[in-house]
Amino acid sequence: MDRPISWPVAWVSALVGTYSHILLDAIMHSDMNPLWPVAYGKPLLGIISVTALHVLCVACGVVGGLVVGLRLSRGV
C-alpha cells in the first residue's frame, strides 16, 4: 500500500500547507501582514473569533481523519 509521493504532489502539498498557514495566522495574529510587501494592512484580522477558528480547524481535522479512515477501510 506504500506508494511513492511524486514531485508535483509534494509541491502542491507544500504550497497548500504554506499558504493555508499564512491565511490562518492572518486571521488570529495581530502582527501578521499577509500581503506584505505588496500592501500593508490586516484585512483578515478578527474576521472570525479565535475560538471559532480553533473549532473550524478541529472539525476539518475530524472530517479529514474520517475520510482517511474510510479510504483505508476500503483499501483505496
Domain residue ranges in the chain: 1-45, 49-76
Q: How far apart are CA 70 and CA 72, in angstroms?
A: 5
pTM for this one?
0.75
Supply the pLDDT for residue 1.
Answer: 56
- Rounded to the nearest 10 degrees, the angle between the axes of helix 7-28 and helix 50-74 is 160
Average pLDDT by stretches of 10, the chain with 76 residues: 87 96 92 85 91 96 97 86
DSSP string, 42-76: -TTTTSS-HHHHHHHHHHHHHHHHHHHHHHHHHT-
Closest CA to 34 of 49, 19, 17, 46: 19
